Amino acid sequence: MTAPLTVHFARTEFDPLIGAAGRVALMVGPDGKLGAVARRLDRATRGAIRRALEGKAWDKLKTGEALDLSYPSGLTAEAVQLVKLPRRATVAEARKAGAAIGRALGEAGAVVLAANHPRAADIAFGLTLRAYDFSLYHTADTPAKGPVTMLVDDPEAVADKAAPLTALAEGVCFTRDLVNEPANVLTTSDFADRLVAMREIGLEVEVLEEPALEKLGMRALLGVGQGSESPSKVVVMQWTGGKKGDAPFALVGKGVVFDTGGISIKPSAGMEEMTMDMGGAGVVAGVMRTLALRKSKANVVGLVGLVENMPDGRAQRPGDIVRSMKGDTIEVINTDAEGRLVLADVLWYAQERFKPTGMINLATLTGAIIVGLGHENAGVFSNDDTLCAAFLKAAAAEGEGAWRMPMGPAYDAMLKSRLADMKNSCGRPAGSITAAQFLRRFVRDEVPWCHLDIAGVALPPKETTLAPKGATGWGVMALDRLVRDMLEG
């Protein structure tokens, strides 16, 4: 995987700043006041820092934004970066400030003066996430970014506070790697192998192959992948850091490693981005990695259905009727509405085997959610107000956009099929809602459940505050926060 940038913490001193080869970044409050070490640096630059802070450009900056002084006299650094950040900054503002440094970071690295800023760990976290770069397939050498040293008054205390955020950054970057990988590399088998490798960090990982899935009756899932040379699989990841014997919370992800639409083939324009249709499974994997790395005191099980949806002589056809693991029959109206077929069986299996205390599934499920919410928010659907509120609170705390969408009997009625218990697609009207209603049929009434439609946020068309253009890893931070707040107490 792409190793996240490591930020090293050292005690606040002047010499690392004056001798820095790359960038020097200073956290400065809106009032422009400088601490003792920063004042020494200003004198070394013959007052260039003070002049910049007294100019109009600084006044126009918003919190978390930065102003560059290129090749300042008196220093070896290529730039001094003045980052506007008050001492009472929010978590989001501190991460944005760190991201401003990470965005500009080059191979010469940076020395960041944070001194006694209470949000130093979050500054480092934002820097790490924004410095991410997926350049594995560039044949020209791509210099690695960094190193980065952050100067703080109490490096040991800041390092302790940053440790769980370092684990979280690795989980986010793991998810980004998975979503960014091309489908000829990230096959169902390769995906499963990467998850099996997480046994090394303490996860219990089990791979269910096609014969086992057939025996379990997962014919909805198997139908999706029957036109592909890549075998369909379900991977189960267990983390048991909580009380022994307590039922786990379940995370379920859609893992369509490539989606042509099957026989209901998609238009060619933009189809190359369907490598991201395993984004839900990628998020589940990233969360499980984070929980293991930070030794979470919770019991969580992650389940992902890995398939490839291809047109072939053996492929599923519109009009086919399949029987799910639950026993319900499904008329396949559109083979491009395949993700819900995968999730239906995995959701039911999760409940049958693990009797979870609650369940959240994630999927790049519908284009309709992008029509409704754009690339700013994921759609949240739920049968339980308490769980839904807890997730929305966690998402807001982590700055990951999420918006609750409606469900109800009127939408459920749209799933009626003449030939089977239900159909898998109801056409364009309320497309994201009817997809959620379909999934709801495979969730027991007593199980608190949320469905997260992440089609718009997994691979947005432009960079975000904490991510370069490409995969964002949306959801890893929110779900890790949910586990901490709801399951770890």
The candidate with the shortest Cα–Cα distance to 329, out of 172, 178, 162, 442, is 442
> Using alpha carbons only, what angle is made at residue 133 by residues 142 and 99, rounded to the nearest 5 degrees?
125
Which is the catalytic residue, given 50, 266, 297, 484?
Answer: 266
At 386, is the secondary structure helix, strand, or coil? helix
Question: Is 266 annotated as catalytic?
Answer: yes
The dihedral through the CA atoms of 256, 257, 261, 262 has a sign that is negative
What six digits make up the tokens of 470? Answer: 């490409």
69 pairs with which residues across the strands? 80
314 pairs with which residues across the strands? none
For residue 250, report the phi and psi dihedrals to the nearest 5 degrees. Answer: -110, 135
> Using alpha carbons only, what angle is made at residue 436 by residues 315 and 351, rounded to the nearest 5 degrees?
85
Rounded distance, CA 253 to CA 281, Å? 4
Rounded distance, CA 303 to CA 236, Å? 5
Q: Which residue has the tokens 């370092």?
A: 166
CA 469 to chain centre: 14
Question: Is 423 annotated as catalytic?
Answer: no
Rounded distance, CA 319 to CA 331, Å? 6
CA 374 to chain centre: 17
Which is the catalytic residue, given 84, 96, 130, 340?
Answer: 340
Give the active site residues: 266, 340
